[in-house]
Structure 1
Amino acid sequence: MAGGGGGSGDGGGGGVFTGTCTESRPAGRSVSGSGPHEVVVETNSDPGINQGTIFRPADLGGGAKYPIFVWGQGGCSRDGLANEAAMAEIASHGYFVVADGTPGSKEPNRDLGSGGDVLLAYVDWVIAENEKPCSAYYQSIETTKVAANGFSCGGLMAAGTAADPRMTTWGHTSSGTFSPDQAFYDSIHTPVLIVTGTADSLGANENGARDFEHIAASGDIPVMMFAKVGADHGGDLWARNGGEFTKVNLAWLNWWLKGDESATGKGMLVGASCPFCSDRTWQVSSANLP
């Protein structure tokens, strides 16, 4: 199930790629999710991706095109497996996932200031791979559908992607800006998802709520906040299939990246049949929804 990835080399004349590709290698992890796709975990030595971990559907080249999802780790850790249950769950539902960090890495955590650039560099690489005939990922990526998210410090990495015109949506999980930043809020041009716990011991619930209020005040940016009553930092991200936190994140991706308005997408998050809306263990807020 391991596939070759692309990597190095330049395009040739007439827009035809004539360079070389760098093959992705299995990361030695066996993972799965609740979705219909088997999941492959890979790394690649190409400089554009060698600091990330790929979680992707095993079935490539069959005509399906998978949206791109990039993830920042808690503490801006460089361990690409830090949230592997959540990443595998999302990939199993048909997403090409790149989590920051390499498997089991003990390298020092990232400097937050460059976080958005790190995730956007992964987006650059994946989009380029989709155009390379020598890549195992050739024509298997939906390059017009791109999302970012992350846990804690990784959520601020995701926020660093907000102004990029290629983004379709982004969000943060148990995260949020430390103080109001109107220039940042003004740069947002896509729907935003905030997931947190009301008992967050690091203040992320308050930070997330402040972000929600400022984004909502824009009047035109769709934004939702899901706060699990009594949950601490990270909630149940490490539970089987990434827990309820990942269920919310996945439904949001299905809605905005795949146009899914059924019970596995928009219908899970809004409307009369929304399970979280009627569950007293969740506090749900929304603004500017279509």
Structure 2
Amino acid sequence: MIRYLVLALLIFPAIAFSCKSFGEITAFKTLDSGGSGKFKAIAASESGLPGYVFYQPKNIGEAVAQEHGLPVVIFANGGCNDTSFPFERMLSEIASHGYLVIALGAMQNRLDDRPLKKAANEMMTEALDWIGRASQTKGGRYFSSVDMNNVAFAGQSCGGAQVLAVASDPRVKTYLMFNSGIGDMTMAKADRQSLNALHGPILYLVGGDSDVATDNAKLDYQRINHVPVAFANLPGGGHSGTFEEPLGGSFTRVALKWLDWHLNGKDANASTFLKRDLAGFDDWEIKAKRFSGT
């Protein structure tokens, strides 16, 4: 009997270890009581994909039963760093509304609890590759749990440049640029020519004149003429936005309006960006172009 078991493991290793490879949470924490959405969220470390944080509904089965597959957001961090610690309140809040967010860099409890490194651009596509395989692996936590037809790439500051560097990935449906714009710079292997790789609607969120990314974001907005683009500005928001506020503040609420519109089919949200229906966003300035009717 032992001989046959060993033989089976040698012949079918992927099957034998599929459950362990896809969907074993090794550590987690809760932020802002799990968020304001209908699914309490956690930030988790996943054994099958170390070096990332998975922001997700804690009861992912319940979320999938209601949402029929969670849209996926891959997030690159400010400074191109391998930590999402400064953005975890926003990312957890997004997850609580029925999203799976995978952020570059291992989970931290304090920003100084490990040395920081630069995250490679390829980590974004590798995360998408992994969750795609995991969603097809029976017995794993993520089996049939994600909607690979509704994927966003998002990034803050230098992380936005990383988004542009891998923007050509055909699986991506929409993009979010937080306090970011490439302008005439070269950063993270991206430059103004990288804008040509965009193939879906893109949202820029900036923090006014005190945000060092605002001028570059304005240049990008002017130059993008082949895909729909929106520009959301919070005067006085600065380069750090509202990420440290409870639930990630109003930057998060604007981002959720966009994500729910483009990845969850909530077309009523379009009015926030196309008709400047800014109820609840009184301090924001929003404009858009290349959308139908604009």
When normalised by structure 2's length, the TM-score is: 0.83
The SS at the match of 1:83 is helix
Match of 1:170 in 2: 175
Cα deviations across residues 12-71 of structure 1 (Å, max 9, x unaligned)?
A: 7xxx9665233122324444211100112211232xx21100010123234331000011
Counterpart check, 1:74 vs 2:84? no
Give the counterpart letter for 2:238 in structure 1.
Answer: D
Match of 1:154 in 2: 159
Asked whether the 8 Å contact 1:276–1:284 carries over to 2, the reply is: no
Asked whether the 8 Å contact 2:74–2:128 carries over to 1, the reply is: yes
Deviation at 1:182, TM superposition (A): 4.9
Deviation at 1:235, TM superposition (A): 1.6
Cα deviations across residues 203-235 of structure 1 (Å, max 9, x unaligned)?
A: 2000111111111x33xx110000111221022
Deviation at 1:276, TM superposition (A): 7.0
Deviation at 1:97, TM superposition (A): 0.7
> In the comparison of the two structures, how many residue pairs are matched?
267
Cα deviations across residues 254-287 of structure 1 (Å, max 9, x unaligned)?
A: 010111023xx3233332634378x3x3222211
Match of 2:277 in 1: 273
- Give the alignment's Cα RMSD to 1 decimal: 2.5
Deviation at 1:88, TM superposition (A): 0.9
Asked whether the 8 Å contact 1:159–1:172 carries over to 2, the reply is: no
Give the counterpart letter for 2:40 in structure 1.
Answer: E
Q: Which moved more, 1:184-193 or 1:102-111?
A: 102-111
Match of 1:188 in 2: 198
The SS at the match of 1:284 is strand
Asked whether the 8 Å contact 1:75–1:109 carries over to 2, the reply is: no
Counterpart check, 1:249 vs 2:255? yes
Asked whether the 8 Å contact 2:174–2:262 carries over to 1, the reply is: yes
Larger helix share, 1 or 2: 2
Unmatched runs of 5 consecutive residues or more in structure 2: 1-8, 186-190
How far, CA to CA, are the matches of 1:18 and 1:190 in structure 2?
Answer: 39
Deviation at 1:144, TM superposition (A): 1.0
How far, CA to CA, are the matches of 1:82 and 1:191 in structure 2?
Answer: 26
Written as runs of structure 1 = structure 2, the 5 A alignment for 1:57-136 is 57-62=57-62, 63=65, 64-104=68-108, 106-110=114-118, 114-115=120-121, 117-136=122-141
Asked whether the 8 Å contact 2:243–2:251 carries over to 1, the reply is: yes
How far, CA to CA, are the matches of 1:274 and 1:229 in structure 2?
Answer: 15
Match of 2:285 in 1: 283
When normalised by structure 1's length, the TM-score is: 0.84
Match of 2:239 in 1: 233
Counterpart check, 1:197 vs 2:203? no
Give the counterpart letter for 1:25 in structure 2.
Answer: T
Higher Cα radius of gyration: 2
How far, CA to CA, are the matches of 1:282 and 1:30 in structure 2?
Answer: 26
Match of 2:230 in 1: 224
How far, CA to CA, are the matches of 1:69 and 1:17 in structure 2?
Answer: 28
Asked whether the 8 Å contact 1:132–1:138 carries over to 2, the reply is: yes
Match of 1:27 in 2: 28
Match of 1:3 in 2: none
The SS at the match of 1:149 is strand
Misfit runs of 4+, over 4 Å = 16-19
Give the counterpart letter for 1:106 in structure 2.
Answer: R
Identity among equivalent positions (%) equals 25
Asked whether the 8 Å contact 1:224–1:286 carries over to 2, the reply is: yes
Counterpart check, 1:210 vs 2:216? no
The SS at the match of 2:147 is strand
